[in-house]
Amino acid sequence: MTNPDRAKQYLEVEHNLFQADPKNLLLEQGFTWLVRIFAFSTAGLLLWLSWIIFQDAEPAIAQFGSDFLLSQNWNVGELSFGAAPFIYGTVVSSTLALLIAVPIGLAVAIVTSENFLPVWVRSPLATLVELIAAIPSVIVGLWGIYVMIPVLQPLQLWLYKHLAWIPLFSTEPSGPSMLAAGVILAIVILPTISVISRDVLLAIPLELRNASMSLGATRWETIFKIILPASASGIVGATILALGRALGETMAVTMVIGNSAGINISLLEPAYSITSVLANEFAEALEKLHIGALMYLALILFVITLIVNLIAVLMVNIFTKKIN
Amino acid sequence: MESDNKYSNLQSSPQGQKPSDIESTTPRTDLPALRVRDLSFYYGKTKVLDGVSMDILEQQITAIIGPSGCGKSTFIKAINRINELETKVQVKGTIEFFGQNLYHPRVNINHLRRLIGMVFQKPNPFPSSIYDNVAYGVRIFDRHPRSQLDEIVESALKSAALWDEVKDKLKKSALGLSGGQQQRLCIARALAVQPKILLMDEPCSALDPITTMKIEELIQTFSQKLTVVIVTHNMQQASRVSDYTAFFSTDESRIGHLVEFGHTTEIFTKATNSRTQDYIQGRFG
């Protein structure tokens, strides 16, 4: 071969788009399949779990049907079961927790993301709040029994004494109560709300703040009219995530809610939650119907959290759309 | 001028050939670096580019100019198939790289993107050291001994006129460089894998005039070994750096198309199309 020929051949190899590259292909294809399998089996796990719960709940579903949701009667001896007090306890204590934790969590998020505190105060503060999330909930519950309820009791008595005409405070408090459960849940979910909201606030571009301030707005006007609306989707997301946590929280609630199955409008009265009754009774449940009733409760909790999560996705979408 | 001959040869070559007839899987270095025939481009179902045909010659600098939304970015992104990463795209017609259809199903797309490199509008260095930024692409395609890698990095940085400024801080983060330095680092990174074509999508639009001038000077040094296609909003830039200029535009249909293509001097002094004249004289766009 002559030199120009060789040069031409070399050039053609250099420019060839069809070069085989088996290393890349095998690796890439293999990885694509591997991650697919992982993703689908995770989704499969959820379905499997739901199926098992549904199967175990079957006897109770067959026996009570939808009456189970409204019946207030829970009597293991007579094998008659109703879910209403537990659903009520779970929903009310979680709502109470949100009412307390959202404003405080947002305050923490704003204080630790704005610059009106020096950094050496701000960042330890944020870390400390974050650390609450690291406390095992059974320890929070113990603290609830030995510290929080004694501290809360004078307040509950005061509420009963002076505001008993409001139905919410119309019964005499004995210590453990729906209110105590709400407060303990608020403490448990506080870090979730404040940490995520803080990250969302910190992610708001400085340009927005500059634009607002340069039109003469004050710091708080900027926070309320620009920063918070711009981060609404993230804050809603954080709140719903916290709500999910509150609905599912077991130990801390069980230890302070009073575990008394009944529906009472008064927040000072002991109550019961779905997770608490599961924790308290499951180990001793022998009758198939009893186990079925507990599983039925678990299924209901599952559906409630599912709905909450769906609402979360929906609201985050709505808020995101509003901005864009 | 040799390039003149090349161009006129191609003009006189038979145009009756259908794109499908000339689909081949062996490169032909006697053909233009890129031969675009009747290229229409869709994002999803939306048509953004209609019927573009042009030849981009080897070792020449071709500038693409035109008003916003005329599809010029889409066009150069179609050349290294990088817009497939964003959404589903659909291509009609052909783009050939030395006679090989870029959209042939058996094309090794990673190799294609190595051969047709790209520099983006905003400098996008990786959050790692200057050295690792340049070595990244090289390491992906080949295993080199350290000393050889050092040489490749050094020569790439020299080709991008950045070596003298960074040679003492190769281990420092690339994010600490100024905007202009970052863009030259991105150019060095693209050059290090020895592409045959370098696509530049408004590489200077985020930079100040002095840095822009430096990069323009740089681009002109490339044409000895590299084919450059540069999209620019800046008409002076097109006239300063390029050998050929393509003017893209759009009409009420919002679909971009090629209006005129030719030698830069001709496009800028005696464009045949009145829309090209208007645009170049700043009367619209």
- Strand partners of residue B91: B41
On chain B, the residues whose CB falls within 8 A of the CB of A5 are none
pLDDT in tens, B42-68: 998 899 999 999 999 999 999 999 988
**pLDDT score of B13 more than 60:** no
CATH number at residue A281: 1.10.3720.10
Q: Which of residues 10-29 of A touch B (CB under 8 A)?
A: 11-12, 14-21, 24
Q: Tell me whether residues B100 and A16 touch, CB distance under 8 A.
A: yes
pLDDT in tens, A29-78: 889 999 999 999 999 999 999 999 999 999 889 888 888 888 888 888 88
DSSP character at residue B33: S
Looking at the structure, tell me whether residues A33 and A157 fall in a common domain.
Answer: no
Q: Tell me whether residues B97 and A19 touch, CB distance under 8 A.
A: no
Output the six-digit token pair for A50.
Answer: 């739901």
- pLDDT classification of A2: cutoffs 50, 70, 90: low
Looking at the structure, tell me whether residues A179 and A264 fall in a common domain.
Answer: yes
On chain B, the residues whose CB falls within 8 A of the CB of A16 are 26-27, 100, 111
Q: Tell me whether residues A17 and B110 touch, CB distance under 8 A.
A: no
| Averaged pLDDT for residues B110-116 | 90
CA distance B25 to A18: 7
pLDDT at B185: 95
Looking at the structure, tell me whether residues A217 and A111 fall in a common domain.
Answer: yes
**pLDDT score of B133 more than 90:** yes
A321 interface with B at CB cutoff 8 Å: no
Q: Tell me whether residues B97 and A15 touch, CB distance under 8 A.
A: yes
Q: What one-letter code names the amino acid at A306? A: L
pLDDT in tens, A224-248: 999 998 898 889 889 998 999 999 9
Least confident interval from A56-65, A93-102, A312-321, B228-237? A312-321
pLDDT at A3: 64
B100 interface with A at CB cutoff 8 Å: yes
| Averaged pLDDT for residues B88-108 | 89
On chain B, the residues whose CB falls within 8 A of the CB of A19 are 108, 111
CA distance A190 to A184: 10
Chain A: residue whose CA lies nearest to B106 = A18
Beta-sheet strands, E only, within chain B: 34-43, 46-56, 61-65, 89-97, 100-101, 116-119, 197-201, 227-231, 244-250, 256-263
Closest CA to A197 of A106, A265, A123: A106
Least confident interval from A110-119, A138-147, B155-164? A110-119
B274 Cβ contact list (under 8 Å, min separation 6)? none
pLDDT at A8: 67
Looking at the structure, tell me whether residues A114 and A29 fall in a common domain.
Answer: no
On chain B, the residues whose CB falls within 8 A of the CB of A17 are 27, 97, 100, 102, 104, 107-108, 111-112, 115
Residues spanned by the domain of A292: 68-323
Cβ contacts from A onto B, under 8 A? 42
Q: Which one of B58, B104, B110, B141 would you mutate to disrupt binding with A, by most A Cβ within 10 Å of its Cβ? A: B110
Of B29, B102, B111, the CB nearest to A8: B29
* pTM (2 d.p.): 0.72
Chain A: residue whose CA lies nearest to B108 = A18
**pLDDT score of B226 more than 80:** yes
Of B98, B106, B110, the CB nearest to A15: B98
Least confident interval from A8-12, A180-184, B22-26, B28-32? B22-26
Taking the CA of residue A29 and the nearest CA in chain B, the distance in Å comes to 14
- pLDDT classification of B14: cutoffs 50, 70, 90: very low
Q: Tell me whether residues B196 and A15 touch, CB distance under 8 A.
A: yes
- Please count the helices (runs of H) and the strands (runs of E) in chain B: 11, 10
Q: Which of residues 223-252 of A touch B (CB under 8 A)?
A: none
User: Structural domain tally of chain A?
Assistant: 2
Residue pointed to by tokens 């993107």:
B113
Looking at the structure, tell me whether residues A55 and A132 fall in a common domain.
Answer: no
On chain A, the residues whose CB falls within 8 A of the CB of B102 are 17
pLDDT at A22: 62
Looking at the structure, tell me whether residues A254 and A135 fall in a common domain.
Answer: yes
Average pLDDT, chain A: 88
**A16, A36, A62 — which closes off a domain?**
A62
B258 Cβ contact list (under 8 Å, min separation 6)? B51, B52, B53, B54, B246, B247, B248
CA distance B99 to A111: 63
Looking at the structure, tell me whether residues A102 and A19 fall in a common domain.
Answer: no
Average pLDDT, chain B: 86
CA distance B198 to B120: 11
**pLDDT score of B232 more than 70:** yes
Q: Tell me whether residues B196 and A24 touch, CB distance under 8 A.
A: no
Looking at the structure, tell me whether residues A128 and A21 fall in a common domain.
Answer: no
ipTM of the complex model:
0.71
Q: Tell me whether residues A12 and B26 touch, CB distance under 8 A.
A: yes
Looking at the structure, tell me whether residues A33 and A91 fall in a common domain.
Answer: no
pLDDT at A6: 67
Q: Tell me whether residues B108 and A19 touch, CB distance under 8 A.
A: yes
Looking at the structure, tell me whether residues A311 and A179 fall in a common domain.
Answer: yes
Of B100, B108, B196, the CB nearest to A21: B108
On chain A, the residues whose CB falls within 8 A of the CB of B100 are 15-18
**A21, A43, A62 — which closes off a domain?**
A62
pLDDT at A165: 85
**pLDDT score of A4 more than 70:** no
pLDDT in tens, B233-245: 888 899 999 999 9
Q: Which of residues 6-25 of B touch A (CB under 8 A)?
A: 25
B108 interface with A at CB cutoff 8 Å: yes
**pLDDT score of B9 more than 80:** no
| Averaged pLDDT for residues B71-80 | 91
Measure the N-to-C terminal CA separation of chain B; round to a whole number of Å.
Answer: 33
A324 interface with B at CB cutoff 8 Å: no
Looking at the structure, tell me whether residues A146 and A274 fall in a common domain.
Answer: yes
Looking at the structure, tell me whether residues A138 and A234 fall in a common domain.
Answer: yes
Q: Tell me whether residues A17 and B196 touch, CB distance under 8 A.
A: no
Chain B: residue whose CA lies nearest to A16 = B27
On chain A, the residues whose CB falls within 8 A of the CB of B106 are 18
pLDDT at A145: 92
Chain A: residue whose CA lies nearest to B111 = A17
Q: Tell me whether residues A16 and B28 touch, CB distance under 8 A.
A: no
On chain B, the residues whose CB falls within 8 A of the CB of A14 are 196
- Selection from B8-17, B118-127, B139-148 with the highest mean pLDDT: B118-127
Alpha helices in chain A (DSSP H): 3-14, 22-64, 67-70, 84-113, 119-132, 137-143, 149-163, 178-202, 206-213, 219-222, 228-230, 232-248, 251-256, 274-281, 288-323
Contact B209, B229 (CB under 8 A): no
CA distance A139 to A145: 10
Q: Tell me whether residues A15 and B106 touch, CB distance under 8 A.
A: no
